[in-house]
Amino acid sequence: MAKYQGGCLCGAVRYGTEAEPLNQRVCHCRRCQKVIGAAFNARLLFRIDDVTVEGQVATVNTSPDLQRGFCAACGTTLFSRRDSAGIVGITTGSLDDPSLFKPEMHMWTASKQPWLRLDDGLPQHEGAPPPN
């Protein structure tokens, strides 16, 4: 059984991976806010080849190099995918067990909603974080 598994609200799409995430971040950019329909996008980043997806996924490009995937039946946002880098960011809300998410930082905090207090002690970056 995959360590990280999840899927959409209606159950038509399921995903899973045994891999450890490359990183776990909270993004506050406006694009993520719009796509998720919330104040931020909490996500776990994996290599594309490490994640299996079953079911019908619809996609939309929200920037030239970033594709968002969602359930074609119920619309649940499941991931963001950057093929050129070979990575996929799984939305934590779609995990079967969201408590597995252990955030490491906040990014794009310049777009953070003013009513949201970030007092968790994690690093905060106004834009993209520095490369690892």
Bigger pLDDT: 63 vs 22:
22
CATH class of 4-110: mainly beta
Q: Provide, rounded to the nearest whole percent, the portion of the chain with pLDDT above 70.
A: 98
Buried/exposed 66-77: b ≥16 CB within 10 Å, e otherwise: bbbbbbeeeebb
For the stretch 99-116, pLDDT in tens is: 999 999 999 999 999 999
Pick from 40, 25, 33: nearest CA to 87: 25
Which phi and psi (to 5°) does residue 84 adopt? Answer: -60, -30
Report whether pLDDT(1) > 70. no
According to DSSP, the residues that pair with 43 across neighbouring strands are: 25, 91
